[in-house]
Amino acid sequence: MFFNLLALRLRLLTVGLVILTTACGTVSASDEANAPPTSDVIAVDVAIATPNKTQSAIYTGTTAPIREVLLRSQIQGQLQRLSVKVGDRIQQGQVLGQQDDDVLTGSVNEARAQREAQVAEVASARSQVGAVSTQVEQARLGLVQAKGNILQLQNAVRARTEEARLQVRQTQSDAVRLTQLAKDGAISEQRAEQARTQAQQAQQNLVNIQASGIQEITQAQTAVKTAAQVLQAAESQVAMEQGTVDAAQMRVLAQQSVLNQAQKQRTNAVLTAPLTGIVMERLAEEGNLLQAGDEVLRLGDFKQVKVIVQVSERLLSQLRVGQQTQITLDAFPQRNFSGKITRISPLANSARLLPVEIVMANNGKIGSGLLARVSFVQPQQQRVWIPETALQTNGGRRRPSTGKAPQASPGSNSHADSAAQKPDSIENQATLFVLETESPEPRVASRSVVLGERRNGQVEIIQGLSPGESFVSRSSEPLKDQTAVSLSAISESPENR
């Protein structure tokens, strides 16, 4: 029974297939008989380029203080006190903590004692300079006296010599006169001999006076030289002692620097706030042994808040420092904030995204790490967008639309940047066919256009197509320049818009 039923069903199925095949053949033959004769005219759909207003792209980032500082320990020592907690508001110069400074205090006292000792050395050296200076004055006075003695001695020797010379001339004259008288017999020969003896004695006395004067002058000159040497030695001693004073003063200055450094080190034991802001994090606790450079507190200046977003390189030409932005925070969904671009990084990352810094005012409630959504305020621009299917490559092959949007990079807008980023394999130029309005019959002309962003199967035309021009949005066959076409019933025209 079962096999009979199965055979019956197979026969019915075979009869149905035969009837369906015959009917399809009849319809095909009828269509071929009624089809119009073929021609070289290509059917095309024509559209009119219209400007579209672009939506503001939204970029996400997180809030951060306008300035952030890590307060570090500048000395080695135990953290004895830390008087602030996370979230506390602080003022610049406020004391935030204290480190152990016993060792530093001892260093300050030792440096001060050494400086006082060196100051005493300077005073002693100056006293020695004063004593040697007195010796110099005495030596200078002795030299003056020695030089004065020479002048007095020279005058005395000159006077004695003149007197002895006069005595010689007188005795010689007397000896000559008396000798003549003795020859004349007026006096005795003995008297004449006495006169000659006196003359010889006077001559000898002159020689003795001259020799004695030379000796005395020589001794006086020697005394002058000795006094000059004593003066020179005393002056050298003064210079040496003055050098000792200068060296002692330099040691005092050096020790003063050591003392100042020690005092500064002791001052560094007090941790003070370098800015007015809020304590963001405690990185050390009381009792910790800190080394120089260890982090103690993280502080933030929240007078203003900054947001850093990652922007595609393709939008770089549309951004500028000082440009206004609109910001929304998920923490305050009912409020809108405004900001300004303060920095555009010149360095892009591997995904060709550039960090852009936006600064906004803080009402005192905006903290760090809040999710921010940023849109850039730009002048209204009239841009032409067309379907990607209207484009052809330089080789005549139609550029197909992939229908897939590129993946968004971290930190960028998922529905703006992903469409704005263009794969490297897609070129920035393509060929578009526009309808010639001056031709008596419909013809198309090829035109090179520069492409911009791509979104949802649409592409932005930056250059090469103006609003109001008619272009081929779809064709039944590949087109060439000056190809004759026929417009489809769904083609757009200025009259039916």
Query: pLDDT category, 328, cuts 50, 70, 90?
Result: very high
d(CA 231, CA 227): 6
C-alpha count within 13 angstroms, C-beta hemisphere, residue 1: 0
pLDDT given at position 397:
44
Helix or strand or coil: residue 64? strand
User: Domain locations in the chain?
Assistant: 42-53+381-487, 58-100+277-376, 103-267
The Cβ of residue 497 has, within 10 Å, a number of other Cβ atoms equal to 8
Chain segment 409-457, per-residue pLDDT in tens: 434 444 344 434 443 334 588 888 998 877 778 888 898 988 887 878 8
CA distance linking residue 470 with residue 461, whole number of Å: 14
Could you read off the pLDDT of 89-101 as tens digits, one per residue?
999 999 999 988 8
For residue 58, what are the contacts with CB-CB under 8 A and spacing of at least 6? 373, 374, 375, 413, 415, 416
Q: How many CA atoms lie within 13 A of 320 on its CB side?
A: 6
CATH top class, domain 42-53+381-487: mainly beta
pLDDT one-digit tens code per residue, 247-269: 988 988 998 898 888 788 788 88
Q: Is 431 exposed, middle or buried (0-12, 13-18, 19+ CB in 10 A)?
A: buried
| Residue 6 CB coordination number (10 Å) | 9
CB-side exposure of 58: number of CA atoms within 13 Å?
9
Torsion from C-alpha of 106, 108, 114, 117, nearest 10 degrees: -110
At residue 109, what are phi and psi to the nearest 5 degrees? -65, -40
pTM, whole model, 2 decimals?
0.46
What would be the CATH architecture of the domain defined by 58-100+277-376? Beta Barrel (2.40)
The rounded distance, in Å, linking the Cα atoms of 83 and 273 is 12
Residue 20, pLDDT score = 44
Residue 9 confidence (pLDDT): 45
Q: What angle do CA 19, 21, 25 make, to 5 degrees?
A: 120
The secondary element (H helix, E strand) that includes residue 80 is strand 77-82
Distance CA 81, CA 65 (A): 26
Work out the number of other CB atoms within 10 angstroms of the CB of residue 28.
Answer: 10
Question: What is residue 33's predicted lDDT score, i.e. its pLDDT?
Answer: 40
